[in-house]
A and B are shown apart, each in its own frame.
Chain A
């Protein structure tokens, strides 16, 4: 008899627990459902973004083609005049340096990744994360070591390139990128590899627990700038 009572109580408690569980779950789902409803508009926005991204990508490819064609036309138009030919070469060379064309050459690839924090006893977890100032400092040091072209996660470093922190990501050339940051630089590999020297910024980052690797390469390709540089406020001084 007491056995039966015990079973009843146990069953009662079990049923109660299960029902409670279900109620909690249903409530949770109702809440998330309401956010899904709000997300309807967000979904449309996301679709719209993707459409524009696609249009941009297509136009960008067409632009690359057109620029190659323009270079050919320019070469043809200037081949009979040594002065013009010189100007033509300056334009072609200049486009490489300003980031308007893709370039290749020897150099280094530096990868910066957020530290895991296992191997270090750092007090401040923020030290383990790659910050905008870290990327900026590495780029500055690469230029100091003679880099002629630089990209960060395939975003070309051009005249107007700035690096800005946006939460966990970095904003560069209007695009948002996250760790790991792959910095490619073309120049004399031995000089560029000097960034690993004792007391240099890379070593300082390593000490903080950030993942740093540097690799020399004989052939690095750095893409052209993904945007357009337009001047609104600036004018050339008339000579």
Chain B
């Protein structure tokens, strides 16, 4: 009787131990799979990400080829005692285009905004958000009331929003935003559900969008000075 009891206790003990061990192992596996699941992006997201990196690689590669070729051209000029002036002028023009120091033209859209009556006027933030959305959609040149948007352009409210300054220049309504880029991309960047233009229209402001196959945007007409960057 006593012997049987001891044997039973031991058997039950072993069984319990085995069960608990199996459970522990299982818990561990579940924990681990959860971690990787969090780290995982969804497949469709991964595909977009891959396409993105492919494009980035191709762009940087093309740029590398261009720079390498240009180095060769400088070297050839040197060897044949040619003047490098044409090469330098080409490079300078490219730089000036990026700085916004050249007049440019191309297809795009013109957005005209006018504040509605008896409601809070269109603010600098609204314009900032529109410009940001246009850039995100691939805008190549933008101006607001003929003030060219360059990479050091600020759009701010002055005197609690009684007027707006772009590039330090006061601008008045109606606000005319000219943008060069793919017309349908530009339009869908600001319209549609959640687009800033739709939001402004719902609030009661007047916004019109016109497509134009040849918009001209004037250059940034100030000296660009740097004092602090080296």
Chain A residues within CB distance 8 Å of chain B: 11, 14, 18-19, 21-22, 25-26, 28-29, 32-33, 35-36, 38-39, 41-42, 45-46, 48-49, 52-53, 55-56, 59-60, 62-63, 66-67, 69-70, 73-74, 76-78, 81, 84, 87-88, 90-91, 93-100, 103-107, 133, 136-137, 140-141, 143-144, 147-149, 157-164, 171, 174, 186-188, 226-237
Contacts and interface: CB of A to CB of B under 8 A. Distances in A.
22 contacts: A32-B37, A38-B43, A39-B36, A52-B57, A59-B60, A69-B71, A74-B88, A77-B77, A77-B88, A87-B88, A94-B92, A94-B96, A140-B156, A143-B152, A148-B229, A158-B151, A174-B56, A186-B228, A233-B107, A233-B182, A236-B104, A237-B103
B73 to A, nearest CB: 9
Given A81-B83, A163-B132, A234-B140, 18 more contacts: A18-B19, A29-B26, A35-B33, A42-B43, A49-B46, A49-B50, A55-B57, A59-B57, A63-B60, A63-B63, A67-B67, A77-B84, A81-B85, A97-B229, A137-B125, A187-B228, A229-B98, A233-B182
Interface in B32-75: 33-34, 36-37, 40-43, 46-47, 49-50, 52-54, 56-57, 59-64, 67-68, 70-71, 74-75
Contacts of B70: 70
Contacts of B20: 18
Contacts of A55: 57
A227 B99 contact: no
Contacts of A234: 97, 104-106, 140-141, 180-181
Contacts of A28: 30
A77 B88 CA distance: 9
Interface of B: 12, 16, 19-20, 22-23, 26-27, 29-30, 33-34, 36-37, 40-43, 46-47, 49-50, 52-54, 56-57, 59-64, 67-68, 70-71, 74-75, 77-78, 83-85, 87-89, 91-93, 95-100, 102-108, 125, 128-129, 132-133, 135-136, 138-141, 150-156, 180-182, 216, 224, 226-230
A161 B78 CA distance: 37
B98 A98 contact: yes
B56 A161 contact: no
Chain B interface secondary structure, helix, strand, loop or mixed?
A: helix
A72 B181 CA distance: 35
Given A228-B60, A237-B104, A22 B156 contact: no
B128 A136 contact: yes
